[in-house]
């Protein structure tokens, strides 16, 4: 493992951060000998900034479907290489806690180690061909995009969008994530695509058992525009507003399902060690609420707490999916549990070891595949962080001691903002039988 790390670091220094200009994609290639397959990630930058500027809400989402349609047409060629692509908010991505969808959309892929250059060459053709979209294909993309997508209608997605609107008002995170509405004008779509999918607006990261230097050169040659464009820009920290009314309630058509989201902004400019301690505290709190509310009382079908990054700020975010009648009372209880935990003295050594190991495996699981490693490297390039930022945070987590963890509680003193979705407090009285059933097993 140490050898791998050295090789990884060597290749980082070898390829480093490629120069960014308006014609070329930013490219980073990491060699990881022994990999069973390579992974690549192409981030299209400044997603919502670009949409906001061009008044094209949800166009990155919509045009992702156009790319996917074109992929289906070209799939045989990708199949021949043994390459598999994934697009935009492809389900099951374990990256919701990064909320990167505000800042970018992407194409990512898995490919045999020896076929990366060929696969990326095909991706380049795929992106270029998307600009030739016609009215019929656009209509088809609108249909695929707006109907039957479970993810975009999930209560978590609804809560996330409202939360952004509360905290960031007119800033880019509050801009819609998903495309809605009728078929837009074809020329507007093409204009958006020309800008958003230009090489100068791409960050390409590759990880695999590859020759990093020669592959990087090859990819750079492939992803160059004939003339300079106007990349979508980058703005990673935006002004946050704490709303006066800190509890917001919303109703959706899915009335039989309830959701609550509680967030607390953390102090600005966390360093690695503070972030590590904050992650450990959030894990401790997550374990506490999920054991009590889900495992003991069966109140939640999903529950957890973590550190989220939105608009360049870190937040403690708690989310719980439950019956509408338990939304409000659960929010009250979670707040109280948080206050209590913040006041309690620190954890024991054994407890810290438990929290640390459980946090580390879940963080490492996200980076098992090379396509995911490429994703994180892409995010780190985009956010101007060291490429191996995640590994550095892991090392900091290993170093956090009881004292540091206790001190980290001061990071969580920000105001709490609550989002309650489909809460039906009145029903609590009507359903005494079930209420008793739950209380019985406290």
Partner 1 sequence: MLVFLIALSISASPGSPFQYKWVQLNNGMPVLLIPVKENPVISSTIVMKVGLKYENKEHNGVSHLLEHLMFNGTTKRTQKQLYDDLDRAGCYSNASTGDHYTAYYTLCSKENFAKALEIQSDMIFHSTLPENKVPKEKSIVIQEIQRDKMSPSYEEGALLRHTLFPASSYGMKVLGDADSVKRIPREEILKFYHKYYAPSNAVAVIVGDFNETDVMKTLEDILGKIPAGDVKGVPADVQIPSSKKMEVQKAASLPYSVYYRVFQCARVGSEEFGAQEIGVELLDRGLKQKFSAVDSRISCSTVYTADYGLVEIRARVKDEKTALQFDRELSVYLKNFKVSSADVREIANRMVQETVFSLERPHFFGMLFAPQIAAGLKNPLYPLVVSDKSVGEFIRKLNGECRSLSLLINGREEKQ
Contact between residue 338 and residue 274 where contact means Cβ atoms under 8 Å apart: no
- Report which of 226, 217, 194, 196 is spatially closest to residue 23, judged by C-alpha positions: 226
Instruction: For residue 63, give every residue at least 6 positions away whose Cβ sits within 8 Å of its Cβ, in sequence order, or none.
Output: 130, 141, 189, 192, 193, 196, 197
**Smallest gap from residue 365 Cβ to partner 1 (A):** 6
**Smallest gap from residue 278 Cβ to partner 1 (A):** 19
- Nearer residue to partner 1 within complex by CB, 54 or 151: 151
Q: How far apart are CA 337 and CA 67, in angstroms?
A: 46
- The residue count for the chain: 442
Q: How far apart are CA 419 and CA 307, in angstroms?
A: 17
**Smallest gap from residue 356 Cβ to partner 1 (A):** 8
- Nearer residue to partner 1 within complex by CB, 53 or 209: 209
- Nearer residue to partner 1 within complex by CB, 185 or 353: 353
- Report which of 45, 55, 150, 156 is spatially closest to residue 103, judged by C-alpha positions: 45
- Nearer residue to partner 1 within complex by CB, 18 or 116: 116
**Smallest gap from residue 202 Cβ to partner 1 (A):** 23
Residues that bind partner 1 (CB under 8 A): 1, 34-37, 69, 72-73, 75-76, 79-80, 82, 84, 110, 112, 140, 143-144, 147-148, 150, 254, 256-257, 287, 291, 294-301, 321-323, 350, 353-355, 357-358, 360-362, 364-365, 368-370, 437-438, 440-441
At CA 64, angle to CA 205 and CA 12, rounded to 5? Answer: 5
- Nearer residue to partner 1 within complex by CB, 185 or 268: 185
Report residue 425 as tokens.
């407090």
**Smallest gap from residue 157 Cβ to partner 1 (A):** 14
What stretches of 251-395 adopt beta strand conformation (E)? 258-265, 300-310, 313-322
- Nearer residue to partner 1 within complex by CB, 245 or 441: 441
Task: Provide the sign of the torsion angle of the four alpha carbons 363, 369, 374, 375, taken in this order.
Answer: negative
**Smallest gap from residue 120 Cβ to partner 1 (A):** 17
Contact between residue 401 and residue 357 where contact means Cβ atoms under 8 Å apart: no
Secondary structure element (H or E) that encloses residue 84, with its range: strand 84-87
What stretches of 142-234 adopt beta strand conformation (E)? 202-208
Contact between residue 317 and residue 417 where contact means Cβ atoms under 8 Å apart: no
Report residue 8 as tokens.
């990884």
**Smallest gap from residue 123 Cβ to partner 1 (A):** 17
- Nearer residue to partner 1 within complex by CB, 36 or 230: 36
Alpha helices in 154-211 (DSSP H): 155-168, 186-196
DSSP codes of every residue in 241-293: ---SS-EEEE--S-TT-EEEEEEEEPPSS--HHHHHHHHHHHHHHHHHHIIII
- Nearer residue to partner 1 within complex by CB, 216 or 325: 325
- Nearer residue to partner 1 within complex by CB, 310 or 331: 331
**Smallest gap from residue 169 Cβ to partner 1 (A):** 31
**Smallest gap from residue 354 Cβ to partner 1 (A):** 4
Q: How far apart are CA 378 and CA 40, in angstroms?
A: 9
**Smallest gap from residue 332 Cβ to partner 1 (A):** 19
Tell me the backbone φ, ψ of residue 251, rounded to 5 degrees: -115, 140
- Nearer residue to partner 1 within complex by CB, 224 or 358: 358
- Nearer residue to partner 1 within complex by CB, 277 or 355: 355
**Smallest gap from residue 311 Cβ to partner 1 (A):** 29
């Amino acid at each position: 493992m140490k050898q791998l790390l050295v090789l990884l670091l060597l290749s980082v220094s070898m390829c480093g951060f490629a120069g960014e200009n308006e014609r070329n994609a930013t490219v980073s290639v990491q060699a990881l000998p022994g990999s069973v397959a390579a992974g690549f990630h192409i981030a299209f930058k400044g997603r919502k900034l670009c949409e906001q500027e061009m008044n094209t809400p949800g166009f990155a989402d919509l045009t992702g479907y156009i790319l996917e349609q074109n992929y289906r047409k070209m799939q045989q060629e990708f199949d021949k290489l043994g390459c598999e692509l994934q697009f935009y908010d492809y389900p099951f991505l374990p990256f919701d806690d990064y909320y990167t969808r505000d800042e970018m959309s992407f194409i990512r892929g898995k490919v045999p180690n020896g076929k990366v250059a060929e696969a990326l060459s095909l991706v380049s053709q795929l992106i270029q061909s998307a600009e030739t979209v016609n009215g019929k294909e656009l209509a088809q993309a609108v249909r695929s995009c707006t109907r039957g997508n479970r993810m975009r209608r999930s209560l978590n997605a609804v809560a996330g969008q409202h939360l952004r609107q509360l905290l960031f008002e007119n800033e880019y995170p509050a801009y819609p994530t998903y495309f809605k509405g009728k078929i837009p004008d074809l020329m507007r779509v093409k204009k958006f695509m020309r800008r958003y999918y230009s090489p100068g607006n791409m960050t390409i990261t590759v990880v695999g058992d590859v020759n990093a230097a020669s592959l990087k050169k090859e990819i750079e040659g492939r992803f160059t525009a004939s003339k300079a464009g106007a990349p979508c820009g980058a703005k990673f920290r935006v002004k946050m507003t704490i709303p006066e009314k800190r509890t917001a309630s919303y109703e959706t058509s899915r009335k039989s399902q309830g959701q609550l989201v509680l967030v607390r902004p953390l102090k600005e400019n966390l360093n690695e060690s503070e972030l590590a301690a904050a992650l450990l505290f959030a894990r401790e709190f997550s374990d506490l609420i999920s054991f009590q509310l889900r495992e003991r009382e069966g109140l939640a079908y999903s529950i957890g707490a973590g550190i989220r990054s939105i608009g360049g700020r870190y937040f403690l975010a708690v989310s719980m999916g439950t019956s509408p009648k338990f939304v409000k009372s659960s929010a009250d209880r979670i707040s109280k549990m948080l206050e209590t935990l913040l006041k309690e003295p620190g954890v024991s050594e054994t407890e810290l070891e438990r929290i640390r190991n459980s946090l580390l495996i879940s963080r490492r699981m996200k980076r098992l595949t090379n396509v995911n490693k490429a994703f994180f490297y892409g995010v780190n390039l985009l956010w101007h962080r060291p490429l191996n930022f995640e590994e550095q945070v892991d090392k900091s987590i290993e170093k956090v001691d009881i004292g540091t963890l206790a001190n980290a509680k001061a990071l969580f003193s920000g105001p709490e903002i609550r989002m309650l979705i489909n809460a039906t407090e009145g029903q609590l009285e009507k359903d005494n039988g079930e209420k008793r059933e739950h209380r019985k097993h406290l």
